[in-house]
């Protein structure tokens, strides 16, 4: 197998040039296929133009864009030249763009549209240090856009914005203008791109993917060609069976670590990728139009599909609703019995195979005819909505709630849940297609080692909860220019501290049980660092402490300890009745006061995105205590808080 992403793509393009590599919507709104041969020619054209603007091996190239066909063309061209792309989506803030492009020392960047160019221009006017590297005290003080000199626009910019950019000493090229710059070079040396690919090595950096950061500093994860090629070889065909001509429907951000490995798996298999959006009406129409075999997504989308089905059934009501709920119940019981017979029940504690078979054989025999009838009368229509040739969904970016897992098993739709993190490029494990065990995320992919350890680093046996450490060819080189942070997550011997808590079955499958690190992953796959939000909230004179919550939920919520002194004083000044403090903070006037502070502080103007804002909060009457909610170092003990305030937290996320 090829040892770089570029050679992998080149081999596939030569082997099956006529098969579709991409499906993108044309001007008429219908999907148009792009063959592997055409994608290769387009990558050659972009590469020739990059060489004309002096991009060389080892350079970093910014890429601020959402899902579109050009993204992959640019990615393949950049990697083929031995450079590394630095991607981000169009939801990136000015501060993020400023930090990412500057810290990565990008001299050139591709931007999707005029709005992104305006962000760059606003960032270019900024000054001052970009970030602190903590213990080392080193400051990146290049300011503004750093070395950035050339912008390539995928969509043509407005004339006024182009003029403004030129005044800021930025060279701006439209897409056609950029490709024209390399046309002559490509004509004179049509094999130059292949020659550059031939010079590549597996250890070359392919990308810097920055972890989420708001007011804190994003960390650039350094990933190599070897990280990605290993994963494609590890999962196909042994874990999932993707074949040439299969189609993936892409709705997740293409630059995100999860979607990116999906893209390379598709390419390595000779499959095609159709670009859609995670918007219900658009996604459902595209499912029918594309008829995908594979659908990688996040828990929130699977939940929305399930909720949409139930909403439709409730609207129909009557006999249809009764039959649907009956067949879902039958399907869930039948799925359990089938898993018991096939040995697919996860073994976190000792269980008898004989007992499983004996207890499952009669229910399976009795329920099989009913399950088949349910599939014929009810579930077959749901599957038609998925296009009719659906093989499996792949769920990542957060834990799949058990209720959703059970629902899709009940209706006969295979969901393969995976697990990983950006620092592991990202794949660590995925339920194997041939032996999917519910309640687990499968064993580590071949070639990856995994340990479950206690707080002292001692290995724990199967069935015991502890911290997950992994080691394998997919683990990152480190954080770009941050050896101090790298040392905190990569332990002696190359073991990556995932920050996740989990346990394994007797057979080695993994289950995630919680998070040891603070990063919150919402159901939609958004990664959120709670500390910057908490720090911003505590800038309010009325807020003493805040703890942000939302792991595997739809939205963020918070536990807030008000400042008793200032809140009481405000109440007196505003004639709010005070019986006692605990009653006071339940008054609507006080809740409205805190709500105003929350909305003002955690807002777009302060650099926060919509999914980083608090949807609900609860006010706590007593300050946190050392040894209870706080450690000896006065640090918040998040897991202790989750247990102490379980009732309050449950109410925050109650529908």
Q: Are 408 and 302 in contact (CB under 8 A)?
A: yes
pLDDT in tens, 135-189: 222 223 334 446 899 999 999 989 999 999 989 999 999 999 999 999 999 999 9
Whether 587 is in a domain gets the answer yes
Counting the structural domains of the chain, the total is: 2
Whether 34 is in a domain gets the answer yes
Which residues does the chain have with pLDDT short of 70? Answer: 125-146, 212-217, 631-635
Whether 36 is in a domain gets the answer yes
Distance, in Å, from the CA atom of 525 to the CA atom of 29, rounded to the nearest integer, reads 28
Helix, strand, coil percentages for the chain (3-state, nearest 5): 45, 20, 35
| Domain extent for 47 | 5-218
Q: Are 542 and 562 in contact (CB under 8 A)?
A: yes
Strand partners, 173: 152
Question: Which candidate, 107, 75, 118, 115, places its Cα nearest to that of 171?
Answer: 107
pLDDT for res 212: 65
Whether 77 is in a domain gets the answer yes
Query: Please, what sign has the CA dihedral across residues 164, 166, 169, 174?
Result: positive
Residue that is last in its domain, among 172, 198, 218: 218
Whether 311 is in a domain gets the answer no
What is the distance, to the nearest Å, from the Cα of residue 580 to the centroid of all Cα atoms in its chain?
46
Whether 65 is in a domain gets the answer yes
* Cα Rg of the chain (Å, integer): 26
Q: What is the CATH classification number for the domain harbouring 41? A: 3.40.50.12780
Residue that is last in its domain, among 197, 218, 239: 218
Residue that is last in its domain, among 191, 218, 245: 218
DSSP string covering 447-459: T-EEEEE-TT--B
Q: What is the CATH classification number for the domain harbouring 643? A: 3.30.300.30
Backbone angles phi, psi at 198, to 5 degrees: -65, -25
Whether 402 is in a domain gets the answer no
Whether 192 is in a domain gets the answer yes
Strand 478-479: give its sheet, edge to edge: 171-174, 150-153, 108-111, 60-64, 84-88, 205-210, 220-224, 478-479
Q: What angle in degrees, to the nearest 10, is found between the helix axes of 225-235 and 5-15?
A: 50
């Amino acid at each position: 197998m090829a040892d770089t992403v570029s050679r992998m793509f080149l081999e596939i393009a030569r082997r099956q040039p006529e098969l579709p590599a991409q499906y993108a919507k044309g001007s008429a709104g219908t999907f148009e296929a792009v063959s592997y041969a055409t994608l290769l020619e387009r990558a050659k054209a972009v590469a020739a133009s990059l060489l004309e603007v002096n991009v060389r091996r080892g350079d970093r190239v910014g890429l601020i864009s959402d899902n579109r066909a050009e993204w992959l063309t640019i990615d393949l061209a950049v990697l083929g030249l031995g450079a590394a792309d630095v991607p981000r989506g169009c939801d990136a803030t000015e501060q993020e763009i400023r930090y990412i492009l500057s810290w990565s020392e990008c001299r050139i960047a591709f931007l999707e549209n005029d709005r992104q160019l305006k962000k760059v221009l606003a960032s270019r006017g900024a000054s001052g240090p970009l970030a602190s590297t903590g213990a080392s005290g080193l400051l990146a003080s290049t300011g503004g856009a750093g070395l950035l000199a050339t912008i390539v626009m995928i969509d043509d910019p407005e004339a006024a914005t182009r003029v403004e950019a030129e005044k800021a000493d930025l060279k701006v090229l439209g897409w056609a203008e950029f490709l024209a710059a390399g046309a002559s070079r490509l004509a004179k040396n049509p094999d130059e791109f292949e020659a550059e690919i031939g010079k590549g090595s597996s250890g070359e950096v392919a990308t810097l993917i920055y972890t989420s950061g708001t007011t804190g500093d994003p960390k650039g994860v350094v990933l190599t060609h070897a990280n990605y090629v290993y994963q494609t070889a590890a999962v196909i065909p042994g874990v999932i069976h993707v074949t040439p001509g299969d189609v993936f429907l892409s709705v997740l951000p293409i630059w995100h670590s999860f979607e990116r490995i999906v893209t390379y798996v598709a390419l390595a298999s000779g499959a095609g990728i159709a670009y859609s959006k995670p918007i219900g009406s658009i996604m459902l129409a595209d499912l029918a139009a594309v008829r995908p075999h594979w659908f990688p997504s996040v828990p929130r989308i699977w939940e929305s599909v399930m909720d949409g089905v139930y909403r439709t059934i409730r609207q129909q009501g009557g006999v249809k609703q009764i039959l649907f709920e009956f067949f879902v119940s039958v399907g869930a019981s039948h799925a359990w019995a089938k898993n018991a017979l096939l040995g697919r029940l996860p073994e976190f504690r000792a269980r008898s195979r004989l007992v499983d078979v004996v207890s499952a054989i009669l229910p399976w025999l009795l329920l099989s005819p009913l399950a088949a009838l349910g599939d014929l009368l009810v579930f077959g229509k749901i599957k038609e909505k998925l296009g009719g040739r659906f093989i499996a969904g792949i769920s990542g970016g957060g834990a799949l709630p058990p209720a959703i897992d059970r629902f899709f098993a009940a209706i006969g739709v295979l969901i393969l849940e995976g697990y990983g993190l950006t620092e592991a490029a990202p794949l660590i494990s995925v339920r194997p297609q041939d032996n999917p065990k519910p309640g687990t995320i499968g064993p580590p992919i071949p070639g990856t080692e995994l340990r479950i350890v206690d707080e002292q680093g001692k290995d724990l046996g199967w069935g015991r909860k502890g911290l997950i450490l992994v080691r394998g060819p997919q683990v990152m080189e480190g954080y770009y220019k941050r050896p101090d942070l790298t040392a905190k997550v990569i332990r002696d011997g190359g073991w990556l501290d995932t920050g996740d808590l989990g346990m394994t079955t007797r057979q080695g499958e993994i289950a995630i049980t919680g998070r040891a690190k603070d990063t919150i992953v919402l159901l939609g796959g958004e990664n959120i660092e709670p500390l910057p939000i908490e720090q911003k909230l505590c800038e309010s004179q009325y807020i003493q402490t805040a703890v942000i919550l939302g792991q595997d939920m739809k939205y963020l919520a918070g536990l807030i300890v008000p400042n008793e002194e200032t809140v009481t004083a405000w109440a007196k000044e505003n004639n709010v009745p005070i019986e006692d403090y605990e009653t006071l903070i339940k008054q609507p006037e006080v809740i409205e006061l805190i709500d105003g502070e929350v909305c003002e502080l955690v807002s777009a103007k302060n650099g926060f995105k919509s999914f980083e804002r608090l949807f609900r909060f609860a006010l706590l009457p007593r300050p946190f205590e050392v040894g209870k909610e706080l450690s000896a170092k006065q640090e918040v003990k998040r897991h202790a808080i989750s247990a102490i305030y379980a009732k309050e937290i449950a109410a925050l996320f109650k529908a």
